[in-house]
Amino acid sequence: MLMTQVLPILDHIVTSLKELAMKPAPSDIPRALLTVEDVSVTYPGGHTALHSTSLRVQPGEFLVLLGASGAGKSTLLRSINGLVSPSTGSLLVQGLSGQTVTRHNLREHRRRCAMVFQQHHLIGRQTVLANVLMGKLGARTAWASLWPWGRADKLEALAVLERVGLIDKALERADTLSGGQQQRVGIARALLQQPRLLLADEPVASLDPATAQSVLTLLHEICKKDQLTALVSLHQVNLARLFADRIVGLRHGRVVFEGGPQDLTPAVEADLYAQPQLQAQPHAQPQAQPQAQPSALADPDSPYLADPAPPSIPSRSPSTTKEFQPC
Ligand code: ADP
């Protein structure tokens, strides 16, 4: 009798223990490398370029920010590395002392966070090697920076240049390189920083399509090999589909899409790049015009309101906004 009462209790305890053992411990649950919590940015002058945005970026993720020109991609990236101060919200970074980015640990955060820019930001009259070594500046003390770079630093920079296929250009002036090569130097400089997080702001927007794809292939390969977390803003949908683990779509400073490349349907894409119908309507009656564009003009955050001549700007496809600019 006693056994029949005890056995079910024992059975229940064993089952509970088994369930507990199978449950991941809090330390096993993957923690986001970066958590953006309700970050918004209003520039001096009152334009809100980024409305309250929350985002979690997992370690090793290659996350693409997609959107038309003016969608707020740069503003989001710049607020993540502290080049722009968020008006609201907070940033949490795994491994950063104190976790939340504050002005006290901003320098530490920036050291761990490398940036690749659209226009490369190289010093043209300096050698490729000297430009790459700039990636180590943040780790140097003011005193050490008075001295020339040491042999170990140079060897490290040369090793990174080899990874981006430019070892033979190390001693050439940076401004003698092609646009694609200059962006490879920009990537090498970022890698020399040994970042935990790589931010790339339209890194291939000024390159022709073939070079853009080869530069992004290189960046993606390196990030995956090094398990480096990357946040890359792009306006080319085809490249986002090719390389992204996850895509976050922005429009008018708001996240309007979040998903894998397979979720980016033509309808989502059309919505992401939809332009307010603000073109002049030559056949419309003058009094009918306000009804034709009520939503865009009623929106106080519409970028057209900040534009001196909005109605005459033709609707542009995303691929023509920033592409093919000379480097
Ligand atoms: P994207 O990177 O998607 O092209 P941006 O973040 O550069 O978009 O810009 C978003 C909006 O913020 C645009 O309307 C742009 O004109 C505006 N903007 C960007 N930088 C500034 C600034 N420093 N001051 C005022 N407005 C800005």
| Res. 216: pLDDT tops 60 | yes
Sign of the CA dihedral 239, 219, 58, 33?
negative
**Under CATH, which architecture does the 31-112+195-272+318-322 domain have?**
3-Layer(aba) Sandwich (3.40)
> Would the CB of 234 count as within 6 Å of ligand 1?
no
> What is the 224 CA–ligand 1 centroid distance (Å)?
30
In this structure, which residue's CA is closest to atom 18 in ligand 1?
Answer: 49
d(CA 117, CA 187): 9
Name the H helices within the chain.
2-22, 73-80, 106-111, 128-133, 151-163, 179-192, 209-226, 237-243, 266-272, 289-292, 294-298, 303-306
pLDDT tier at 145 (50, 70, 90 boundaries)?
confident
pLDDT tens-digit profile of 14-72? 666 666 555 544 444 458 999 999 999 999 999 999 999 999 999 999 999 999 999 99
Q: What is the pTM of this model?
A: 0.76
Ligand 1: atom nearest CA of 76 is 6
Ligand 1: atom nearest CA of 65 is 3
> Would the CB of 300 count as within 6 Å of ligand 1?
no
Edge-to-edge, what's the strand order for the sheet holding 246-251?
113-116, 197-201, 229-234, 62-66, 246-251, 254-259
User: What is the DSSP-derived secondary structure letter of residue 46?
Assistant: S
- So where are the chain's domains? 31-112+195-272+318-322, 120-194
> Would the CB of 303 count as within 6 Å of ligand 1?
yes
Ligand 1: atom nearest CA of 201 is 2
CB count in 10 Å sphere of residue 124: 12
Ligand 1: atom nearest CA of 45 is 25
| Res. 123: pLDDT tops 90 | yes
Phi and psi (nearest 5°) for 32? -65, 140
Ligand 1: atom nearest CA of 235 is 3
Buried b (16+ CB within 10 A) or exposed e, 83-94: ebebeebebbbb
> Would the CB of 75 count as within 6 Å of ligand 1?
yes
> What is the 79 CA–ligand 1 centroid distance (Å)?
12
> What is the 226 CA–ligand 1 centroid distance (Å)?
32
> Would the CB of 318 count as within 6 Å of ligand 1?
no
> Would the CB of 47 count as within 6 Å of ligand 1?
yes
What residues contact 133, with CB distance under 8 A and at least 6 apart? 149, 153, 154, 157, 192
- Give pLDDT, residue 287: 38
Average pLDDT on 153-176 reads 97
- What is the pairing mode between strands 62-66 and 229-234? parallel
> Would the CB of 49 count as within 6 Å of ligand 1?
yes
pLDDT tier at 295 (50, 70, 90 boundaries)?
very low
